[in-house]
Amino acid sequence: MSVADLELGVTKLTRPQIARRAAELIPDGSFVNLGIGIPTLAANVMPAGKDVVLHSENGILGVGPTPPEAERDRDLINASKDYVTLLPGGSYCVHSDAFAMIRGGHLDLALLGAFEVAGNGDLANWTTGDRRFPPGVGGAMDLAVGAKAIWVLTDHTTKKGEPKIVNACKYPLTAKGVVKRIFTDLALIDLTEDGLLVREMVPGLTIDALQAVTEPKLALAEDWQELAAA
Amino acid sequence: MSVADLELGVTKLTRPQIARRAAELIPDGSFVNLGIGIPTLAANVMPAGKDVVLHSENGILGVGPTPPEAERDRDLINASKDYVTLLPGGSYCVHSDAFAMIRGGHLDLALLGAFEVAGNGDLANWTTGDRRFPPGVGGAMDLAVGAKAIWVLTDHTTKKGEPKIVNACKYPLTAKGVVKRIFTDLALIDLTEDGLLVREMVPGLTIDALQAVTEPKLALAEDWQELAAA
Amino acid sequence: MPIDKITPSVTEAVQGVKDGMTIMISGFGFAGVPNDLIHGVLDSGAKDLTVISNNAGTGTEGLAALVGSGRVTRIICSYPRSKGSDLFDARYAAGEIELELVPQGTLSERMRAAGAGIGGFFTPTGAGTELAAGKETRMIDGREYVLEAPLRADMALVQAQEADRWGNLLYRKAARNFGPVMAMAADLTVVQVKRIVALGEMDPEAVVTPGIFVDRVVHIDNNREWDI
Amino acid sequence: MPIDKITPSVTEAVQGVKDGMTIMISGFGFAGVPNDLIHGVLDSGAKDLTVISNNAGTGTEGLAALVGSGRVTRIICSYPRSKGSDLFDARYAAGEIELELVPQGTLSERMRAAGAGIGGFFTPTGAGTELAAGKETRMIDGREYVLEAPLRADMALVQAQEADRWGNLLYRKAARNFGPVMAMAADLTVVQVKRIVALGEMDPEAVVTPGIFVDRVVHIDNNREWDI
């Protein structure tokens, strides 16, 4: 258990477990983009029998799981530059067509990482504004405005224990008001018209303890469930 | 000989002969679009050994000559809806890419028909403005502004003997100031900064007789030649 | 549950077509026209339709039949009049059909814009002509451009050669034409194909329209000779 | 005279590269990067270059070597910093290279616009963010869009899999990425390929970049393992 775990007295989800919970909730038949970070892990933990078509913005539709080391192909990588495979039915396309799919509203869902998410759905995930390091926007802004729904997958707090779900983003925005759902190592939270609604929490966590590491006001869903690690 | 031929006392070029003369002057290695009318005939009269890549705006690059009747394919027609073939090295593309080639300035040349050409290079070839008949613009406006050079292939006069090369177009314009060269059944005329320069005339024709069926002032090139039917 | 976009009949393929809809129809001349789907729309009885297609139909069947039925109140195309376009010509002469004439490259680019999430684009095509009348123009690097809007549809009817159950499509020769951009630009894309292949059978390098742009596929291999 | 775009050497392929040029370089991560052509440009000694590429190079060779050489004064890209982008990072930290950061979809769409004769387009990407600062915006159907300009180059360096003498190209898997749009958007498009095939050998349905967009092709089959 880490220090943070000890403080909260609960076992947090691992990064693959966060990805797995998101993967479980992706509707069957969806076209989905997996952003850099925790989201890309979802390709390896997709529930068996779920027919989801994964999109990678460098020009792949129908991304499959990570290959064994011996089968790596330097021409077959995803947007995170990780080795991937192609599923039967998958295809390659030019970069501009991959982004036509994104901007044109053809993706049902994009799973993105975040530096910060605000209660109003604002997303910041491309620069901390630190001028010592070059920023990198990649496809984040296109995905944020283009996909029909945006889910964020992130640790609940920074390494220092500060909230990443905030009242207002301090970092430069990626897009305004786009996030619909947040999966963290502690909880599953929906961004609704009435505010943040907690759907799931890890075993042992209380809403008060969760609120203590979250800036915007949280409400607990009547039918909330335990966020079980798969 | 037609009445018009008798009036001028010369033998006019046939439509395939106009097309042949234009084909002879297409620079080797060019990418060329052939418009509806006389221009499409050029595909069948291309000089042997000339490596020209013909573009058809419905999505063909590398158009070959008309096939024998037994080899017609209803999926292989040009922009005039005539049966064509595909040369080795040819390829098919989506319509929007065919027009990216046009508008993006990738065609060296487009050969177009005309209702009227003005001395300043204005082109009218999409509607006579007669409200009883539906107009049809097709790809004419894209080609007129997109190709690096526009050559017009046309009869020198209307069926009534009126000039088609005029001081100012009376019909609605296709594009302004785009025509660089005109091939007619009587002459080959360049549109230069100094005005219309006659490069070739059919045997027996005088510059005065040609001027009589042409509105803008013509100049005869010092090195003018006979326009010989191939 | 496996993704399966293959629909058993034309009737089911065009289900949901309604009065007042805007429908894109693929094809250039007689190549690539989804005649069976067009007759499916005709059989549905839907009226007050806006049709977007390069031509306006020739002969007595397919697009010409739809236009001739009087159910099309408006057509957006680049080249309506051709040899054999009598059914359209008569409606036009009688003032029974509204025509929006669009330069051909602008037509497919507007579809691509709709499909690619582009809100509008500047094209040099048509600048200074009647077809740009009333449109916003702008000088860019010394050249006049016209602002054109994306063009979308409620439904696209597309003809292709091969499909698999994900809706991936291959076309054949110049019958490809408007199919791929129309598939991108419609809320519901319905495709008739000559052949269904197993998932994974298509070369992933050669897929022209990926299944993400396709909603329904119907297999039509009757090889009927249409009067179009 | 037969069209033949095949060039015998890298030196001849990049001939004409000059100080101050804007050069597009294909590739996404380590896939599809024309390393031999990049080293050809490096060997040419050309300086004050603007490079347009998705990334800024990693490791010690290829794009990283060009950026690290100090000959690149400006880079236009979407994602410069990656594991191994030390050569770029150092130049950036020292203020020795100007960075224009462009959202990735806007980057390739701007190239396509240049290649397709589009004078500018409205995209929702980046609206309301720092990357749209100073750009014209417009509300279209209740949504904010940013006007983006076409992006062209003097030269494009592209890596592909196969070419024929007309310059038709096939790519391989995700190494396709920016190659086709860069080929459209440059005055001079130079391509390194792993295989040359006879004219007519490629499936005309599967050609990805038709030869009209390609100026020079050079055959490189050394299978060198680059440190990128």
Residues of A with CB under 8 A from a CB of D: 56-60, 73-79, 81, 86, 92-96, 99, 102-103, 127, 132-142, 145-146, 172-176
Residue B57 has its nearest CB partner, among C82, C104, C123, at C104
Residue A28 has its nearest CB partner, among C1, C165, C205, at C1
- Contact between C166 and C201 (Cβ < 8 Å): no
Q: Tokens in use for C104?
A: 């051909």
Record: contact A106-C204, CB cut-off 8 A: no
Record: contact D1-B86, CB cut-off 8 A: no
Q: Which chain D residue is nearest to residue A95, measuring alpha carbons? A: D177
Residue D92 has its nearest CB partner, among A74, A103, A134, at A134
Would you mind telling me the total number of residues written for chain D in this entry? Answer: 228
Q: Is C181 on the interface with B (CB under 8 A)?
A: yes
A123-137, D44-58, D190-204 — which is least confidently predicted? A123-137
Which residues face C50 on adjacent strands? C22, C74
Whether this prediction's pTM lies above 0.95 is answered by: yes
Q: Give per-residue pLDDT as tens, C171-220.
A: 999 999 999 999 999 999 999 999 999 999 999 999 999 999 999 999 99
- Contact between C126 and C103 (Cβ < 8 Å): yes
Residue D145 has its nearest CB partner, among C119, C173, C203, at C119
Confidence of residue A6 (pLDDT cuts 50, 70, 90): low
Residue D178 has its nearest CB partner, among A95, A134, A176, at A95
Contacts of D109 in chain C (CB under 8 A): 116, 118
**Domain D6-119+150-219 sits in which CATH superfamily?**
Glutaconate Coenzyme A-transferase (3.40.1080.10)
- Contact between B63 and B91 (Cβ < 8 Å): no
Q: Is the four-CA dihedral A172, A174, A175, A181 of positive or negative sign?
A: negative
Q: What percent of chain D has pLDDT over 70?
A: 100
Contacts of D102 in chain A (CB under 8 A): 137
Q: Residue B1 pLDDT more than 50?
A: no
- Give CA–CA dist C59/C83, Å, rounded: 9
Give the start-to-end residue ranges of the domains of chain C. Answer: 6-119+150-219
Record: contact D207-B31, CB cut-off 8 A: no
Give catalytic status of residue A226 as yes or no. no
Record: contact A103-C116, CB cut-off 8 A: yes
List domains and CATH numbers for chain B: 3-43+106-226 (3.40.1080.10)
Alpha-carbon gap: C200 to the closest alpha carbon of chain B (Å): 23
- pLDDT at site D222: 81
- Give CA–CA dist B160/D105, Å, rounded: 56
- pLDDT at site D225: 87
Q: Which chain A residue is nearest to residue D98, measuring alpha carbons? A: A134
- pLDDT at site B5: 55
Record: contact C212-A51, CB cut-off 8 A: no
Residue C145 has its nearest CB partner, among D109, D119, D173, at D119
Q: Which chain C residue is nearest to residue A52, measuring alpha carbons? A: C3
Q: How far is CA A194 from CA A119, A215, A218, in A?
A: 10, 16, 10
Best to test chain B binding among C67, C98, C177, C208 (most B CBs inside 10 Å)? C177
Contacts of C111 in chain B (CB under 8 A): 96
- Contact between B27 and B53 (Cβ < 8 Å): no
Other C-beta atoms lying within 10 Å of the C-beta of residue A211 = 17
State chain D's mean pLDDT as an integer: 97
State chain A's mean pLDDT as an integer: 94
Best to test chain C binding among A50, A51, A91, A92 (most C CBs inside 10 Å)? A91
Q: Is C45 on the interface with B (CB under 8 A)?
A: no
Count Cβ–Cβ pairs < 8 Å, chain B vs chain D.
Answer: 67
Q: What is the mean pLDDT of residues D168-191?
A: 98
Q: Which chain D residue is nearest to residue B90, measuring alpha carbons? A: D204
- Give CA–CA dist D192/B26, Å, rounded: 30
- Bridge-based pairing of strands C143-148 and C137-140 is antiparallel
List all residues 6 or more positions away from B81 whose beta carbon is below 8 Å from its beta carbon: C28, C29, C30, C82
Q: Give per-residue pLDDT as tens, B169-227.
A: 999 999 999 999 999 999 999 999 999 999 999 999 999 999 999 999 999 999 999 99
Best to test chain A binding among D176, D182, D213 (most A CBs inside 10 Å)? D176
Q: What percent of chain A has pLDDT over 70?
A: 97
D128-165 core/surface letters (b: 16 or more CB in 10 A; e: else): bbbbbeeeeeeeeeeebbbbbbbbbbbbbbbbbbbbbb
Q: Tokens in use for A94?
A: 């030019």
Q: Is C106 on the interface with D (CB under 8 A)?
A: no
Q: Do chains B and A touch (3 or more CB pairs under 8 A)?
A: no
Q: What percent of chain C has pLDDT over 70?
A: 100
Contacts of C2 in chain A (CB under 8 A): 51
- Of A7, A24, A57, A71, the active-site residue reads A57
Residue D103 has its nearest CB partner, among A59, A74, A137, at A137
Record: contact D122-C117, CB cut-off 8 A: no
Q: Is C166 on the interface with A (CB under 8 A)?
A: yes
- Give CA–CA dist C166/C210, Å, rounded: 8
Contacts of D122 in chain C (CB under 8 A): 118-121
- pLDDT at site A8: 76
Question: DSSP assignment, residue B69?
Answer: G
Alpha-carbon gap: C121 to the closest alpha carbon of chain D (Å): 4
List all residues 6 or more positions away from B106 whose beta carbon is below 8 Å from its beta carbon: B31, B100, D115, D184, D212, D213
Q: Residue A2 pLDDT more than 80?
A: no
Q: Which chain D residue is nearest to residue B103, measuring alpha carbons? A: D117
Contacts by residues A204-209 (CB-CB < 8 Å, ≥ 24 positions apart): A204/A9, A204/A10, A204/A11, A205/A8, A205/A10, A209/A8, A209/A9, A209/A10
List all residues 6 or more positions away from B103 whose beta carbon is below 8 Å from its beta carbon: B142, B145, B146, C105, C109, C123, C124, C125, D116, D117, D118
Q: Which helix (H) or strand (E) holds C108?
A: helix C104-116
- Contact between D160 and D171 (Cβ < 8 Å): yes
List all residues 6 or more positions away from B31 whose beta carbon is below 8 Å from its beta carbon: B52, B53, B55, B61, B101, B106, B107, B108, B109, D212
Q: What percent of chain D has pLDDT over 90?
A: 95
Q: What is the mean pLDDT of residues D188-213?
A: 98
Residue D119 has its nearest CB partner, among C140, C170, C172, at C140
Record: contact C123-B146, CB cut-off 8 A: no
Record: contact D118-B103, CB cut-off 8 A: yes
Alpha-carbon gap: D19 to the closest alpha carbon of chain C (Å): 24
Confidence of residue B129 (pLDDT cuts 50, 70, 90): confident
Record: contact D118-C117, CB cut-off 8 A: no
Q: How does pLDDT run along chain C (228 residues), one tens digit per residue?
A: 789 999 999 999 999 999 999 999 999 999 999 999 999 999 999 999 999 999 999 999 999 999 999 999 999 999 998 889 999 999 999 999 999 999 999 999 999 999 999 999 999 999 999 999 999 999 999 999 999 999 999 999 999 999 999 999 999 999 999 999 999 999 999 999 999 999 999 999 999 999 999 999 999 988 888 999
Record: contact C174-B176, CB cut-off 8 A: no
Residue A142 has its nearest CB partner, among D29, D103, D180, at D103
- Contact between B137 and C79 (Cβ < 8 Å): yes
Count Cβ–Cβ pairs < 8 Å, chain C vs chain D.
Answer: 64
Q: Give per-residue pLDDT as tens, D122-135.
A: 999 999 999 999 99
Residue B65 — φ and ψ, nearest 5°? Answer: -70, 170
Which residues face D120 on adjacent strands? C122
Q: Give per-residue pLDDT as tens, A162-200.
A: 999 999 999 999 999 999 999 999 999 999 999 999 999
Q: Is the four-CA dihedral A120, A121, A126, A128 of positive or negative sign?
A: positive
Confidence of residue A5 (pLDDT cuts 50, 70, 90): low
Q: Give per-residue pLDDT as tens, A23-45.
A: 999 999 999 999 988 999 999 99
Confidence of residue B6 (pLDDT cuts 50, 70, 90): low
Q: Residue D73 pLDDT more than 70?
A: yes
Q: Do chains D and C touch (3 or more CB pairs under 8 A)?
A: yes
Q: Is D208 on the interface with B (CB under 8 A)?
A: no
Q: Is C180 on the interface with B (CB under 8 A)?
A: yes
- Of B7, B24, B57, B200, the active-site residue reads B57
Reduce the secondary structure of D32-77 to three states and give it as a string: CCCHHHHHHHHHHCCCCEEEECCCCCCCCCCHHHHHHCCCEEEEEE
Alpha-carbon gap: D205 to the closest alpha carbon of chain A (Å): 14
Contacts of A37 in chain D (CB under 8 A): none
Q: Is C113 on the interface with A (CB under 8 A)?
A: no
Question: DSSP assignment, residue B62?
Answer: E
Record: contact C105-B135, CB cut-off 8 A: no
